[in-house]
Amino acid sequence: MEKLTGKSILKGIAIGKILFYQKGEQSVKRVKIEDTQAEIKRYESAREKAVLQLKELYKKAVKEVGEVNAAVFDVHAMMVEDGDYVDSIVNIIETQQVNAEYAVAVTGDNFSKMFAEMDDDYFKARAADVKDISERIVNILSGNENNSGALEEPVIIVADDLAPSETVQMDKEKLLAFVTEHGSSNSHTAILAKTMNIPALIGVSIKQEWNGKLAIVDGYTGTLYVEPDEDILDTLKKKQEEDIKARELLQDLKGKEDVTLDGRKIKLYANIGGVKDVASVLANDAAGIGLFRSEFLYLEADDYPSEESQFMAYKTVAENMAGKKVIVRTLDIGADKQADYFKLDHEDNPAMGYRAIRICLGRTDIFKTQLRALLRASAFGNIAIMFPMIISVNEVKQIKEIVKSVKKELDGQGIPYGETELGIMIETPAAVMISDLLAPEVDFFSIGTNDLTQYTLAIDRQNMKLDNIYDAHHPAILRMIQMTIENGHKHGCWVGICGELGADPELTKTFVEMGIDELSVSPTFILPTRKNIREIKLN
Ligand code: PEP
Ligand code: MG
């Protein structure tokens, strides 16, 4: 048995086999081959497998994100079998007498360069697709298929680091836990682990040889056991059963009000990253959705999601929530959330860079597409729209003008939309300090404590070395929350918290005392937070 420790993201026990996850971009070696015909056969069977995988992905995506958004997998399946592409690979294997991996990688690079240089946006965009399909075939050939996101059995993923775009593509039903060597507890991958309610450890020295071995992740102590002893296995299996029982006890709180002993009602909402998370929002009986991180729709896709596919996603969520509030945050891409097709320049300081609302106000085509989709979906439920990373009143005024122009466009086309509250995230110190000026402009504030902590304490939330001083309980943060609530209330704005601090049991009472109106937490934390709220006595 090997025993390693790391930092735990979520309490809980996971028991299962390890799957060692490698990044797609591994270097492909050129190897001389004698039997080129056998190599071509090996390539052909990998190609067939890639097509099958893509067809499966297409079916899965149609169910999850609708036909339009899923079409990319259909296009990929066709590209895998494209005559010129296939001929190039076979030709390289035959004439250069090299391994299939190398022939596929070289062909992928050549085709991708050729597409990127074309004077046509459609073909330019295919450059990333051809790279993607080539990577898929190389992964199949070299036995690294886990990179495709399709998991065959429930596994504990062990990886050097995971980007949100990788995490979001994994088959959530088969994920038992994450263990990474790098990454920080405030990263979006950590937040996703909480949303999925799976234990996760960071800062563990990982080994590739663990692949396929049985392991236990103990999220209570931050321990990973590889090939655990019978004793440990028994003890932690019991602990896992106790967890299940404790969760069952919380089930009694379903249907109960979120109200303190002295009658203060709190709106207890959930944070989600996609349409699929609505099931756990409903299962945990949240009163609404306080943060739908819409950028995950963009991270899951290989190209800008169309108005139609976004409309379907927002409409599905709104309809499933049946009149309960659904606050969708507009695109918050950038920093650790990168989608290749945005082609954002490399920045030395991306957390303070071109991201979120800055991109939306710079590229209004993308912003307007999202707003059209959101407003159209608002006719089918109770949608509110929230804007991230605000630092000035001018930004809010610009946003409101754009929203007005999109509404006018819809009016002109006779397309209906509902009443939508507009709100902003308070996640920069600037927004806190001018919250008295921002409040008259909007209907609500939602405090993003994850970024607010990062920007106030000058601590990069991605930097694991600083995890121990990333202190969201710092008095500066608590004072800022208090100030935001006071300024919001003075101007008729309701105020919530959607950062991770909102679920901190040590602070529930403090927030209620400060006058918070709403707490939005990962679905897993709904019932524990309800329990806390119901035990609060203010006077
Ligand atoms: C936050 O910053 O607190 C927040 C909720 O947004 P995100 O974590 O997605 O940056
Ligand atoms: Mg944020």
146 C-beta closer than 6 A to ligand 1? no
Q: What's the pLDDT score for residue 24?
A: 58
131 in Cβ contact with 116 (< 8 Å): no
Name the nearest CA neighbour of 132 among 109, 155, 151, 163.
109
303 C-beta closer than 6 A to ligand 1? no
Which residue matches tokens 């009694």? Answer: 252
Q: State the catalytic residue, choosing from 76, 182, 188, 493.
A: 188
222 C-alpha to center of ligand 1: Å? Answer: 24
520 C-beta closer than 6 A to ligand 1? no
Which residue matches tokens 């891409």? Answer: 333
Residue from 432, 447, 498 whose mutation best tests the ligand 1 pocket (most atoms within 8 A of CB): 498
Residue 182 annotated in active site:
no
Q: What's the pLDDT score for residue 153?
A: 80
Cα-Cα end-to-end distance for the chain: 53
Q: pTM for this structure?
A: 0.75
List Cα–Cα distances, 196 to 128, 153, 324, 412, in angstroms. 29, 17, 22, 41
Q: What's the pLDDT score for residue 149?
A: 57
Which residue matches tokens 């931050």? Answer: 222
DSSP designation for 2: E
Residue 498 annotated in active site:
yes
Residue from 195, 293, 389 whose mutation best tests the ligand 1 pocket (most atoms within 8 A of CB): 293
| Sheet bearing 223-226, strands edge to edge | 2-5, 223-226, 214-218, 13-21, 155-159, 175-180, 200-202, 7-8
188 C-alpha to center of ligand 2: Å? Answer: 10
Q: Which ligand is nearest to the CA of 446?
A: 1
DSSP designation for 109: H
DSSP designation for 520: E
293 C-alpha to center of ligand 2: Å? Answer: 10
Ligand 1 nearest atom to the CA of residue 498, by list position: 5
In the three-class reduction of DSSP (H, G, I as helix; E, B as strand; rest coil), residue 267 is classed as: strand
Tokens of 537: 């006595």
What's at 142, amino acid-wise?
Answer: S
Q: What's the pLDDT score for residue 53?
A: 86
315 C-beta closer than 6 A to ligand 1? no
Name the nearest CA neighbour of 450 among 504, 486, 396, 512.
504
Note the helical H segments in 392-538: 393-412, 429-433, 435-438, 449-457, 475-490, 508-514, 526-534
Q: What's the pLDDT score for residue 139?
A: 84
Beta bridge partners of 496: 446, 518
In the three-class reduction of DSSP (H, G, I as helix; E, B as strand; rest coil), residue 187 is classed as: coil
| Spatial separation of the C-alpha atoms in residues 221 and 8, rounded to whole Å | 7
Give ion ligand 2 contacts, CB < 5 A: 427, 448, 451
427 C-beta closer than 6 A to ligand 1? yes
288 C-beta closer than 6 A to ligand 1? no
Q: Please give the full DSSP string across 82-117, using - where no structure is assigned.
A: -HHHHHHHHHHHHHHTB-HHHHHHHHHHHHHHHHHT
Residue from 451, 456, 497 whose mutation best tests the ligand 1 pocket (most atoms within 8 A of CB): 451
391 C-beta closer than 6 A to ligand 1? no
Q: Please state the φ and ψ torsions of residue 224, each to the nearest 5 degrees.
A: -115, 125
Identify the H or E element spanning 175.
strand 175-180
| Spatial separation of the C-alpha atoms in residues 176 and 197, rounded to whole Å | 9
Q: What's the pLDDT score for residue 259?
A: 98
SS3 breakdown of the chain: % helix, strand, coil, rounded to 5? Answer: 55, 15, 30
454 C-beta closer than 6 A to ligand 1? no
Tokens of 257: 């009000």
Ligand 1 nearest atom to the CA of residue 448, by list position: 3
Q: What's the pLDDT score for residue 64?
A: 63
450 C-beta closer than 6 A to ligand 1? yes
Residue nearest ligand 1's atom 6 by CA:
448
Q: Which ligand is nearest to the CA of 293?
A: 1
Q: Which ligand is nearest to the CA of 496?
A: 1
Tokens of 314: 């927002």
502 C-alpha to center of ligand 2: Å? Answer: 13
120 in Cβ contact with 48 (< 8 Å): no
- Angle made by CA atoms 98, 103, 109, in degrees to the nearest 5: 145
Q: Which ligand is nearest to the CA of 390?
A: 2
* pLDDT lower than 70: segments of the chain: 23-27, 61, 64-66, 69, 145-152, 165
Q: What's the pLDDT score for residue 290?
A: 98
293 C-beta closer than 6 A to ligand 1? yes
Residue nearest ligand 1's atom 3 by CA:
448
395 C-beta closer than 6 A to ligand 1? no
Residue from 165, 168, 187, 191 whose mutation best tests the ligand 1 pocket (most atoms within 8 A of CB): 191
List Cα–Cα distances, 370 to 164, 253, 374, 400, in angstroms. 21, 36, 6, 14
Beta bridge partners of 422: 385
Burial 90-117 (b: 16+ CB within 10 A, else e): bebbeeeebbbbbbbbbbbeebbeebee
Name the nearest CA neighbour of 191 among 94, 75, 77, 295.
295
Residue from 333, 425, 432, 525 whose mutation best tests the ligand 1 pocket (most atoms within 8 A of CB): 425
Q: How far is CA 366 from the centre of its chain?
A: 19
Name the nearest CA neighbour of 313 among 59, 499, 57, 61.
61
448 C-beta closer than 6 A to ligand 1? yes
434 C-alpha to center of ligand 2: Å? Answer: 18
- Angle made by CA atoms 529, 533, 535, in degrees to the nearest 5: 120
Torsion of CA 308, 366, 333, 121, to 10 degrees: 90
| 427 burial type by CB count under 10 A (0-12 exposed, 13-18 middle, 19+ buried) | buried
Q: Please give the full DSSP string across 153-166, using - where no structure is assigned.
A: S-EEEEES---HHH
What's at 432, amino acid-wise?
Answer: V
Q: State the catalytic residue, choosing from 76, 360, 493, 498.
A: 498
| Spatial separation of the C-alpha atoms in residues 247 and 424, rounded to whole Å | 34
449 C-alpha to center of ligand 1: Å? Answer: 7
Ligand 1 nearest atom to the CA of residue 451, by list position: 2
193 C-beta closer than 6 A to ligand 1? no
What's at 429, amino acid-wise?
Answer: P
273 C-beta closer than 6 A to ligand 1? no
158 in Cβ contact with 183 (< 8 Å): no
What's at 118, amino acid-wise?
Answer: M
